[in-house]
Structure 1
């Protein structure tokens, strides 16, 4: 291949790559959601109810009177007005404040015990109770007691 042919091919590929990037960014910009004012209000309140206030103990953003809660609610409504989805807003706040901002943490290896711990504890209690009842019945059977 000649040097000019290779140079032309590289320029063409570079131009196509630039067009692809522009196309993808334009599509990403058009993927923004257009909410009505009522949808913004309802979705904003819904998100504020689902997230924990970083400063208040056991209060969600909606109920908290802390200054940071007011700032975060403002951030939520601003992001909704900019067309961000609920998942994008929650992901942004989780990245900023960590998983502790969620009332219901997402499922991962680190939170598996939170999700399955109560079930495992209940099964353990039932198992121990069954073993104790079985031992008690064995003990009563060896003493000559009978059951109907």
Structure 2
């Protein structure tokens, strides 16, 4: 049973890998640098439809269009930055795995830090409150001492 699952998993993996390799091989590049830039870009750009999958791994028609557009722009001699800017302008900051630091994205950068600070503040506040509740007044200490003495007898 497990062996059959491993064989099935391997077959699916090989099909996906082969399809990805065939897709890239259908493009003709002028040099190895251009091919490397293309590979880097399609791994760095995120498919808007698939959410957490880059356009290299996505089988969505939108990702295929993005790969084609990336190839065309590279063939036209556009820079890596120009291609990224085009994709961000067209699909939004989400399309790039490394979004710029803006007012809107600052929530993503600073949000976790604020949550940690609030958590630490809450823990310290609750600890101090609990510690204050444990402290006895002078009358309570005297009464406790009396109870101890009467219990010893």
Q: What's the TM-score, normalizing by structure 2?
A: 0.63
Whole-angstrom CA distance in 2 between matches of 1:117 and 1:103? 18
What is the alpha-carbon distance in structure 2 between the residues aligned to residue 63 and residue 131 of structure 1?
Answer: 48
Task: Give aligned pairs, total.
Answer: 110
Q: Which has the larger radius of gyration?
A: 2
Does residue 72 (structure 1) correspond to residue 66 (structure 2)? The answer is yes
Gapped regions of structure 1 (runs ≥ 5): 1-34
Name the counterpart of 1:126: 120
Q: Which deviates the most, 63-72 or 42-51? A: 42-51
- Quick one: higher RCO (CA 8 Å, sep 6+), 1 or 2? 1
* Runs of 4+ that moved beyond 3 A: none
Q: CA RMSD in A?
A: 2.1
Is the 8 Å Cα contact of residues 40 and 77 (structure 1) preserved in structure 2?
A: no
Alpha-carbon separation, structure 2, partners of 1:116 and 1:81: 39
Task: Tell me the distance in 2 between the aligned counterparts of 1:130 and 1:43.
Answer: 51
Distance 2:45 2:136 in 1: 58
Q: 1:82 aligns with which of 50, 63, 76?
A: 76
**What TM-score comes out, normalization by structure 1 length?**
0.65
1:39-50 paired onto structure 2 within 5 Å: 39-50=33-44
| 1:1-148 superposed matches below 5 A | 37-142=31-136
> Which moves more between the two structures, 52-61 or 117-126?
52-61
Uncovered stretches (5+) of structure 2, i.e. residues with no partner: 1-28, 142-153
